[in-house]
């Protein structure tokens, strides 16, 4: 069976590469096609025999950009005799929604967001989802939260949607570089080292955490926050740091490939995002046995995270007061977070290991062969 993974980006995605390699090892011929030039994702799967391709187009006009990609994807599926396309992320799914009608391949649309378009009231994203939902014939969602969003809010028929959790080959994750971990701890030596890893966009709510750091620092707490990633909110966040004289407490480190080292160096991961599908960050924290704070009713957190057993869960709508209290108590060692990481590790391996998820994909592949 010839299987194509159609994806807009090139950054490393362990859940995606795990599936591609697993399918290849099962005897399928697997292809990866991205809308950008080659990157870590391509390199991660090449050695396993996955055939990698890219088709970057400069995005100048909306209509021209999408039309060219639709034509290319259609041509690609015909040329390589693709039987089944797994299309990932909204930008690729929008293209696939039209290309499927001119292609001999079957298409499955993999959705990786829940309600962010509604939270931001983003008309364009809501319109794209509406078109994808209408034209798409089969969907995969990674959590009950996304399933409910599509069924209840967006009125997608239940029979079109499969709930399949993200699947990870955890052996593909690099182990922390202990030398780098030591350097990070020394460079950012403090009473409580926090790490936040999330795209710099409004729904990840960096400013909520920044405000609390500001309050605690003014009270005399010795703590530091390392912020990893990029995004359109960067300038606004940097201005906040400067205006509040937090240059020695909050550090904007940008996109990093050594995320695991920073997680390992931290005391606590803080993730106050209000919209997720199924966060990879939680899996990475669990793999390193690091405790994490997240919000309730976000993504699939409520499905496998238990407050004070394998994580700390706080209120999504009003997180500020609760988060300030918890960070204060953790700093003063009134809350023992040491056991949380160990329990999270057990949960993550049991729930998201590819060995436990792959059979669900095998059923889909067989049905669409």
Is the domain of 62 the same as that of 154? yes
How high is the pLDDT of residue 70? 96
Full domain range(s) for residue 317: 172-351
How high is the pLDDT of residue 96? 97
pLDDT at 266 over 60: yes
How high is the pLDDT of residue 74? 98
Residue of 335 and 163 predicted with greater confidence? 163
How high is the pLDDT of residue 122? 72
Is the domain of 8 the same as that of 150? yes
Total domain count, the chain: 2
Percent residues over pLDDT 90 in the chain: 77
What digits encode the pLDDT tens for the residues 299-334?
888 899 999 999 999 999 999 999 999 999 999 988
Is the domain of 242 the same as that of 330? yes
pLDDT at 275 over 90: no
Is the domain of 153 the same as that of 216? no
Query: pLDDT band for position 335 (50/70/90)?
Result: confident
CB 75 within 8 A of CB 236: no
* Total number of residues shown for the chain: 369
CB 330 within 8 A of CB 192: yes
Is the domain of 213 the same as that of 332? yes
- Axis crossing angle, helix 354-367 with helix 14-25, rounded to the nearest 10: 60
pLDDT at 272 over 70: yes
Alpha carbon distance 64, 17 (integer Å): 30
Look up the CATH number of the domain holding residue 58: 3.40.50.2000
pLDDT at 97 over 90: yes
Is the domain of 74 the same as that of 142? yes
Is the domain of 11 the same as that of 143? yes
How high is the pLDDT of residue 59? 75
What digits encode the pLDDT tens for the residues 169-226?
998 888 899 999 999 999 999 999 999 999 999 989 999 999 999 999 999 999 999 9
CB 175 within 8 A of CB 207: no
Is the domain of 176 the same as that of 126? no
Query: pLDDT band for position 161 (50/70/90)?
Result: very high
Indicate the pTM of the whole model: 0.82
At a CB cut-off of 8 Å and minimum separation 6, what does 163 contact?
A: 140, 141, 142, 143, 144, 147
What digits encode the pLDDT tens for the residues 336-367?
888 999 999 999 999 999 998 999 999 999 99
CB 257 within 8 A of CB 40: yes
Q: Which residues pair with 107 in a beta bridge?
A: 85
Is the domain of 58 the same as that of 129? yes
Alpha carbon distance 145, 277 (integer Å): 7
How high is the pLDDT of residue 120? 61
What digits encode the pLDDT tens for the residues 37-75?
999 999 999 999 999 999 998 877 778 899 999 999 999
Is the domain of 249 the same as that of 316? yes
Is the domain of 182 the same as that of 262? yes
Structure tokens at 244: 């509040």
Is the domain of 63 the same as that of 79? yes
Q: What's the chain's average pLDDT? A: 92
pLDDT at 291 over 80: yes
What digits encode the pLDDT tens for the residues 101-149?
999 999 999 999 876 556 566 778 889 999 999 999 999 999 888 898 9
Ordered strands of the 223-228 beta sheet? 250-254, 223-228, 192-197, 268-271, 292-295, 312-314
Comparing C-alpha atoms, which of 219, 351, 335, 339 is closest to residue 282?
351
Alpha carbon distance 36, 52 (integer Å): 12
């Amino acid at each position: 069976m010839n299987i194509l993974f159609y994806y807009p980006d090139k950054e490393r995605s362990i859940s995606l590469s795990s599936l591609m390699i697993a399918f290849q090892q099962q005897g399928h011929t697997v292809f990866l096609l991205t809308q950008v030039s080659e990157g870590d994702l391509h390199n991660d799967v090449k050695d396993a025999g996955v055939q990698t391709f890219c088709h970057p187009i400069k995005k100048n006009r909306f209509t021209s950009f999408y039309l060219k990609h639709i034509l290319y994807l259609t041509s690609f599926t015909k040329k390589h005799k693709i039987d089944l396309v797994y299309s990932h992320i909204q930008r690729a799914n929008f293209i696939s929604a039209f290309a499927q009608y001119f292609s001999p391949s079957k298409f499955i649309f993999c959705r990786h967001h829940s309600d962010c378009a509604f939270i931001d009231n983003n008309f364009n994203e809501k319109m794209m989802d509406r078109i994808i939902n209408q034209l798409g014939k089969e969907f995969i969602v990674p959590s009950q939260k996304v399933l409910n969003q599509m069924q209840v809010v967006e009125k997608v028929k239940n029979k079109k949607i499969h709930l399949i959790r993200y699947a990870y080959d955890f052996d593909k994750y690099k182990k922390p570089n202990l030398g780098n971990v030591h350097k990070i701890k020394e460079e950012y030596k403090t009473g409580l080292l926090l790490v936040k890893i999330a795209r710099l966009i409004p729904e990840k709510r960096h400013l909520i955490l920044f405000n609390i750091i500001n309050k605690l620092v003014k009270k005399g707490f010795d703590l530091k926050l390392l912020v990893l990633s990029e995004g359109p909110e960067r300038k606004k966040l940097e201005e906040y740091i400067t205006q509040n004289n937090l240059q020695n407490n909050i550090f904007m480190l940008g996109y990093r490939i050594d995320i695991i080292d920073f997680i390992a160096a931290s005391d606590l991961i803080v993730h106050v995002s209000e919209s997720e599908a199924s966060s990879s960050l939680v899996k990475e924290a669990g793999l390193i046995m690091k405790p994490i704070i997240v919000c309730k009713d976000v993504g699939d957190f409520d499905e496998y995270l238990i407050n004070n057993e394998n994580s700390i869960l706080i209120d999504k709508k009003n997180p500020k007061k609760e988060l300030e209290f918890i960070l204060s108590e953790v700093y003063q060692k009134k809350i023992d977070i040491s056991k949380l990481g160990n329990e999270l590790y057990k949960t993550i391996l049991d729930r998201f290991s590819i060995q436990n998820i792959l059979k669900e994909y095998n059923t889909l592949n067989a049905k669409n062969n």
